[in-house]
Amino acid sequence: MQEKSEVNTDIPNSSRKQDYWFTEYGPTNTAISLRVKYKLFEKTTPYQKIEIFESYDHGRVMALDGFIMLTEKDEFIYHEMIAHVPLFTHPEPTYVLVIGGGDGGAVREILKHETIKKVELVEIDEEVVNAAKIYFPQVASHLDDDRVEISFQDGIEFVKGKKGVYDVILIDSPDPIGPAVGLFEESFYKDAFSALNDSGIIVAQAESPFVFPDLIKQINSIFKKYFPIVRFYLANVPTYASGVISFVLGSKKFDPIKDFNPNRVKKIVQSLRYYNDKIHIASFALPNFFENLLK
């Protein structure tokens, strides 16, 4: 925290909103609130309202349209889990596409894999990338890497017509509200399937089974139409509604459990705070009520 040297804020110090509670009401009658030291940034773009504030418990926080997207304290969990599970399932990932994820956290994790030659990041909202570079430098740390190519456009349009290109695609989307709605629909996944090569793997964040059970059912039935291997996995993220997030993995060839080689993890495990070889396997163990959603 270098609060005193903060010079890039869009909100002058003298008029900053200070010491209040930010509350995410979510789609239900349950809310999570974070006490805020002061607001750092607020901007309504053509796509969404971006807010960034300094919280007491979780460091800096970015919210999109009132939903917490990442906090400095726990962003490592989501980003490690969306990236390393598919990248340690694929034996030699070289070419990766990330849709959404403009904060750069997924890219940072992807580049820990030395086989990677190119990462394309397709983020609809340029302001998310700009704000992340200023306010979350440790998350956006690798967005200027030579292997990274950023496009500011709609990911749904981007994948149309692409054939057999990628080893891994990550759908690092916000909640299925606003610009991200299309990222949860079948036509998009059909195009994404085609954009993967013959041994390709896709992972998408698939919300919480407590908050969006019907969405999980829907995503499962879409994935099963296209991918021979479909598995959901879980991670505990304290600042997401219900404290848990699920991911869906669709794979053309490699199984995330049978084809997983725990020895490869040793190379980078020192740089990780959540993911390890045991967590990789354990994250696919689903509670009975979740298994029942997939029947």
Which of 226, 284 has the CB closer to a second copy?
284
- Between 113 and 133, name the residue whose CB sits nearer to a second copy: 113
Of 140, 234, 248, 249, the one binding a second copy (CB under 8 A) is 234
CA distance 218 to 223: 9
- Cβ-based neighbour number of residue 179 at 10 Å: 20
- The one-letter amino acid code at 290 reads F
Among residues 14 and 288, whose Cβ is nearest to a second copy?
288
CA distances from 36 to 73, 118, 216 (A): 14, 38, 32
Provide, rounded to whole angstroms, the least separation between the CB of residue 208 and a second copy: 8
Amino acid present at 121: L
Find the binder of a second copy among 40, 54, 58, 159 (CB under 8 A). 58
Choice among 74, 125, 167, 172 that is catalytic: 172
Bridge partners (DSSP) of residue 29 are none
> Interface with a second copy includes 236 (CB under 8 A)?
yes
**Torsion angle, alpha carbons of 227, 111, 43, 124, to 10:** -40
Binding mask 166-185 for a second copy (x = CB under 8 A): --------------------
User: Does residue 293 interact with a second copy by CB under 8 A?
Assistant: no
* Binding residue for a second copy, selected from 29, 46, 198, 214, defined by CB under 8 A: 29
Phi/psi of residue 7, nearest 5 degrees: -120, -15
Q: Give ∠ CA 88-254-106 in degrees, rounded to 5.
A: 35
Regarding 237 and contact with a second copy (CB under 8 A), the answer is yes
- The dihedral built from the CA positions of residue 71, 237, 245 and 119, taken in this order, carries a sign that is positive
Q: Which of 50, 53, 55, 223 binds a second copy (CB under 8 A)?
A: 55
Between residues 165 and 272, which has the closer beta carbon with respect to a second copy?
272
Tokens of 238: 């304290």
**Residue at token pair 């086989």:** 115
Distance CA 193, CA 8 (A): 41
**For this structure, is 19 an active site residue?**
no
Q: Rule CB under 8 A: say whether 136 interacts with a second copy.
A: no
Tell me the closest approach of the beta carbon of residue 137 to a second copy, in angstroms.
21
Lookup: tokens for 31: 């809310």
**Is 155 one of the annotated binding-site residues?**
yes
Active site residues: 172
Binding site for a second copy (CB under 8 A): 21, 23, 28-35, 55-58, 74, 77, 208, 210, 234, 236-244, 269, 272-276, 278-279, 281-289, 291
